[in-house]
Amino acid sequence: MTPQQLDHYARMIDHTNLHADASAADMKKLCAEAKQYHFKMVAINQSQTQRCAEYLAGTDIDVGAAISFPLGQTTIAAKVFETEDAIKNGATEIDYVVNLTEVKNGNYAYIKSEMTQMVTCCHQHQLPCKVIFENCYLTKDEIRQLALIAKEVQPDFIKTSTGFGTGGATIADVRLMKQTVGAAVKVKAAGGIRSATDFLAMIDAGAERIGTSAGVQIIESLKKQV
């Protein structure tokens, strides 16, 4: 695999550490690895935003703040405030979790309003917005309904999972999401993607961004492929 191909794949990776007990040293290591491998973004909890923005200053690596993570159980106003605060502290990408209670209630008007307000907030700052579905708790019809709302509202990405639910990304879900939104919205696969084989399979299914804490191992494995 050529250096250009490796860099192309590295730039599809959101290098992730969302653990509640992640230390400043862990964040420094995450950002150092992101710089070494030229990953697209570091995915971190919102409170780590300023620290990672400082570590990555002067690079083209984005700081991705997770909003209402991992449960999504905050109000729309709280999510928007948290987003604005993250942006003020240096976030350059936003991943937020939808309100799954309202999905289960069939209250798609609420979900559309939430998505619209979050996307508007991000786009007013010229920043991308990713919507986390947490598919392990959803039926296929609920996934499809969320994707149809996204097709209309047009966030930059819809995302499979937080990595903290009962399951992560699946090939079937990535395909379903991509088939539903078409070219209007991109798909991010996250949760349980730890090998180069899984990484390439998710891309083949339609994912254009991969969230993983195993980015270093994946790129090192791809280096060995002819």
Domain that holds residue 46: 3-225
Average pLDDT, the chain: 97
Domains identified in the chain, total number: 1
Burial class (CB in 10 A: 0-12, 13-18, 19+), 223: exposed
- Is 199:189 a contact under the CB 8 Å cutoff? no
**Which residues have C-beta within 8 Å of that of residue 119, sequence separation ≥ 6?**
129, 153, 154, 155
Does the pLDDT at position 199 exceed 90?
A: yes
Q: Cα(36)–Cα(30) distance, rounded to whole angstroms?
A: 10
- pTM (two decimals): 0.97
Q: If you ran DSSP here, which 8-state letter would residue 62 be given?
A: E
pLDDT, position 55: 98
CATH of the domain at 41: 3.20.20.70
Q: Hey, which residues are catalytic here?
A: 95, 159, 188
Helical residues (DSSP H) of 17-156, grouped into ranges? 24-37, 49-55, 76-88, 100-104, 108-124, 140-153
Q: Report yes or no: 62 and 93 within 8 Å, Cβ to Cβ.
A: yes
- Predicted confidence (pLDDT) per residue in 141-196, tens digit: 999 999 999 999 999 999 999 999 999 999 999 999 999 999 999 999 999 999 99
Query: What pLDDT sits at residue 226?
Result: 58
